[in-house]
Amino acid sequence: MKIAIAPDSFKECLTADEVAGAIEEGVRRALPDCVTVCVPMADGGEGTVDALIAATNGRIVELTGTGPMGTPVATRYGLLGDGESAVIEMAAVSGLPLVRTEERDPRIATTYGTGELLCDALNRGASRIIIGLGGSATNDGGAGAAQALGVSLRDAAGRELPWGGAALARLATIDLSRRHPRLNQCVLEAACDVDNPLCGPTGASRVYGPQKGAGPKVVEELDAALRHFGDIIEAQLGVPVLDVPGAGAAGGLGAGLVAFAGGVLRPGVDIVADACKLTSRIAGAELVITGEGRIDAQTPHGKTPAGVAKAARQLGIPVVAIAGSLGPGYDAVHDCGIREVISIQSGTMSLAEAMARAPELLAAAAERVARAWADTRRGFRQM
């Protein structure tokens, strides 16, 4: 019997590799002779660099970049084993965890550091760059990243715009004449785990602005600024970005990468699945176990378990998902082909306790799954 294990990380708790290891331990307790194949996964958010480095025998590049509030931060990205590709998590340099709660202000937060990482990868000769969009502290439409790449964004008086989403309301002129020349020879794939447009009720500002420190008035200010930004991009560059699915990812960085770097937006889990050769590695398995820290109504919209289930469904392999916790609407994942969903958190257990005991609880849940599968190979009993 072969069981494939392809989970995402449990955010702020375990890496995808650690989650896979705990699940594998539980499976082997139940089925010592079972063949297991571990494929740590990601969807463009936290863990994307580590998943692709592990899958391709790549290496980490460490450097200092400009953080979201303009101060230097220690950061990293990956060079993949093919010697031609780089993978960047924008959150590693422009992410929300890098800013103390009381200092969060998306009106001035910048993606300039993300652009610095892109420049470094280009200068090292990368001809393909994967950039994970997720976990941002920013709402600047990728303007800061564009400026780091040599794009000039000026107001009506010819002055360069300062950093942050609020300044976009004053954008008058876009100048690409000093844009990094290697962008023309590079394929840039933006890995999205959401499909939000740039503006409007489901846009970057209204959906994600509040968690970045924006109150209701600031949310409306930022949404209007991004709409103006999108209008100027379309008028001067001929690139429509306002209604592109995923353009609102990472505070609109998705839109900026399309407009200024020729980026292509793709579901992050598809990019990682291709790089990890997910389909070929799970082929021949009788069961696939996936998972992530929280499974809820958002999981079917580009998250790792849904992407793994899509690949497994094409091969006719049933899928079980193990979650750190379950949120409202979690049962929507059944429509993706996930047969059972199990939480490691019992009704009386706090989230803090579940996180502290995550390896132990994951292994126990995986053991239950494996025993149930072995008991009835035609389906599942109640777990």
- Using DSSP's 3-state secondary structure scheme, residue 189 falls into strand
The set of residues, in sequence order, having a beta carbon less than 8 Å from that of 231 and lying 6+ positions away, is: 242
Average pLDDT (178-186) is 96
The H or E element spanning position 86 is strand 85-89
Question: Both tokens of residue 286?
Answer: 């009788």
Total-model pTM? 0.86
> In the structure encoding, which two tokens stand for residue 169, read together?
């309301």
Q: Which two tokens stand for residue 155?
A: 């107001």
Q: Mean pLDDT in the chain?
A: 94
Quick one: pLDDT at residue 44?
83
Tokens 């300044």 belong to residue: 167
Average pLDDT over residues 9-26: 92
User: What percent of the chain is predicted at pLDDT more than 90?
Assistant: 84
Give the span between the Cα atoms of 268 and 307, in whole angstroms: 9
pLDDT digits (tens, 9 = 90+) for 293-326: 999 998 988 889 999 999 999 999 999 999 999 9
What lies within 8 Å, CB to CB, of 383 at 6+ separation is: 340, 342, 368, 369, 372
Structure confidence at residue 377 (pLDDT): 66
pLDDT value, residue 355: 87
Structure tokens at 363: 């292994």
Query: Maximum Cα–Cα distance for the chain, whole Å?
Result: 74
Could you say which architecture CATH assigns to the domain 48-269? Alpha-Beta Complex (3.90)
Q: Which part of the chain is CATH 3.40.50.10350? A: 2-40+286-375
pLDDT score of 47: 86
Name the one residue in this structure whose structure tokens are 């564009």: 146
* Cβ neighbours of residue 280 closer than 8 Å, sequence gap 6 or more: none
Q: Which tens digits make up the pLDDT trace of 84-103?
A: 999 999 999 999 999 999 99
Please name the residue ranges forming H helices in 277-382.
Answer: 278-282, 304-314, 351-356, 358-375
- Phi, psi of 322, rounded to the nearest 5 degrees: -115, 125
Residues of the chain with CATH 3.90.1510.10: 48-269
**pLDDT digits 0-9 by tens, 330-383:** 999 999 999 999 999 877 888 788 889 999 999 999 999 999 998 866 555 444
Assigned CATH for 2-40+286-375: 3.40.50.10350
Whether the Cβ atoms of residue 74 and residue 299 lie closer than 8 Å to each other: no
